Amino acid sequence: MAENALREMMGHRKVKLGHLVAEFATPGIGHILKAAGCDFVFFDMEHSGFGMETLKSAIRYFEAADLPAMVRVPSHDTHFIARAMDMGVEGLIVPMVGNADQVRRIVSAMKYHPAGGRGVALQIAHDRYRPGGVADKFTAANRRTAFIALVETAEGVDNVDSIATAEGVDCLWVGHFDLSVSLGIPGEFGHPTFTAAMDKVVAAAKRHGKSLGRLVGNVQQGIEVHDQGFDFVCYQGDIWLLYEALADAVGKLREGCAKAGAR
20 CB-side CA count, 13 A: 22
What's the one-letter identity of residue 15? Answer: V
Rounded to the nearest angstrom, the gap between the alpha carbon of residue 77 and the centroid of all alpha carbons in its chain is 18
DSSP E strands, 8-141 = 16-21, 40-44, 69-72, 91-94
Catalytic, 47? Answer yes
CA distances from 1 to 30, 42, 67 (A): 13, 17, 7
User: Phi and psi for 9 in degrees, rounded to 5?
Assistant: -60, -35
DSSP E strands, the chain = 16-21, 40-44, 69-72, 91-94, 146-151, 169-174, 211-216, 232-237
Q: If you ran DSSP here, which 8-state letter would residue 90 be given?
A: S
DSSP 3-state assignment of 75? coil
**Residue (of 204, 216, 117, 126) closest to 166 by Cα position:** 204
Q: Are strands 169-174 and 146-151 parallel, antiparallel or unpaired?
A: parallel
Please pick, among 12, 47, 79, 113, the residue that the annotation labels catalytic.
47
Query: How many Å apart are CA 18 and CA 111, to the nearest integer?
Result: 25
Query: How many Å apart are CA 114 and CA 236, to the nearest integer?
Result: 38
Say if CB 4 and CB 33 are below 8 A apart: no
Q: Which residues are catalytic?
A: 47
